[in-house]
Amino acid sequence: MGEDQLHIMFFPFMAAGHIIPTLDMVKLFSSRGNVKITLVITHSNSSMVAQQLENQENINFKQIEFPDQDSGLPKEYDTVDKIKGAPELFPKFLKALELMQNPFEKILQEFSPDCLVADMFYPWATNAAAKFDIPRLVFHGVSLFALCGSEVMRRDKPFKNVSSDTEHFVIPNIPHEIVFTRQQLSDTDREEFETDMTRLMRRVLETDKKSYGILINSFLELDPVYTEYYKTVFGRRAWNIGPLLLCRRQGRELQSSGDDNNVCLRWLDGKKPNSVIYLCFGSGSVFTTAQLQDIAFGLEAAGQQFIWVVRQEVDENWLPEGFEEKILSDNRGLIIKGWAPQVRILEHKAVGAFLTHCGWNSILEAICAGVPMVTWPLFAEQFYNERFVTRILGIGIPVGAPKYGMISSGVSKEAIAKALKAIMEGEKALEVRNKANESKKMAWKAVEKGGSSYNELSALLEEIRQLNR
């Protein structure tokens, strides 16, 4: 190892929404010269990770055993995707995460990296790294606005000043006027009773305070206000080094896995610019059959062309009778069950809007493609992301999701149709699209040499080198 070569270890969380940006981050760090990477992974993720990072000479893999059976889980239940249909297994999954500390400490001792980048869901990693004098950076797969907003929500508890779950209140002591209702908050926000998740998130917050700092998959120009707020009000360190998906660019337009001749891309080729709405709610979202039917009715009432990706299992009568035949006969819509090349679809010139569940990865993909959004949050930090997109950035229109929950319901077909029309027609649509295009330009500029994210990473790497010396 050269005198100034850095050795950085990455430990991603076992969920697709965390692993994908971590792999992008690994590629980004390894591309900056004189940086050696060790990626710690579990068995179920090893083949996918190896495929994504093939032919990378300075990236090594270390497999860690996932203590599934020690924690009471079925064998090889080492990803969140495998337990999403069985919520009763989640406490056991959290227990397994805790049991990983001792084997992980042995890996730290064996490899002795200069820095550890570990996912937020390993709060014990800060103390583990400290045993060997290794600085630990926390990777948060969310925006700084979501981090700031949720922490103020838990600290100041403004939801206690309202008399019902549907009464509106404002998050206090932050730079923007952001409105919520109590039923749009998670249990970890409200902290009204103890759960495994509330205890975990409390530990994550404490870890943020004790760690060397946090890495954010965003860029300074997108969120200058809460970047400054996080550093000055909370007194913590953060580096915006994204959008991480743009590290796949390699000097060309953004590339994504998927066949160029994919049926949905060929279908889009026959459409006019900005004429199609893309609907996709991520791999973890679930809708009732009644809600799926209302989406179909809303699409029909909006009169817009669309691609609708459905990732969940559906029953036989999940669509209104005759709906699929009708949209195929007039070539107005396309329904895809399962996986679709989302980045490629969003990049296509025919796509004019994106109806999204507001997962942070999906939001960044839309921003990098310059596509405005209709927002339909469900759970996690998605309601904060919605406020960021619609109230602060002004690049989206809310559909009016009323309630936090793993299963979505309660949005009327009329509200769906209204939001879809608003994002595609009239002055508001033009204003939102123009802002989305400006955000795209800023995103691409941020990752170029001399851009804000490029410079943030350069400064961080130099700081770690100085620590190592």
- Nearest Cα neighbor of 226 from 174, 265, 264, 273 is 174
Q: Which residues, in sequence order, are bridge partners of residue 62?
A: 40
Residue whose C-alpha is closest to residue 447's, from 115, 33, 32, 143: 32
Q: Which backbone phi and psi does 91 adopt, to 5 degrees?
A: -55, -35
Contact residues for 368 (Cβ-Cβ < 8 A; gap 6+): 243, 245, 246, 254, 440, 443, 444
Q: Which of 78, 119, 208, 294 is catalytic?
A: 119
119 catalytic, yes or no? yes
- Rounded to whole angstroms, the maximal C-alpha distance in the chain is 69
Whole-angstrom distance, CA of residue 350 vs CA of residue 254 = 17
Q: How far apart are CA 379 and CA 322, in angstroms?
A: 32
Please indicate whether residue 189 is annotated as part of the active site.
no
Give helix 452-468 / helix 16-30 axis angle, nearest 10°: 70
**Among 18, 140, 348, 357, which one carries the catalytic annotation?**
18
Q: Does residue 179 come out as left (phi exceeding 0), alpha (psi in the -120 to 50 range) or beta? A: beta
- What is the C-alpha separation between 289 and 297, in angstroms, rounded? 12
Asked if residues 54 and 46 have their Cβ atoms less than 8 Å apart, the reply is no
Query: Which amino acids are annotated catalytic?
Result: 18, 119
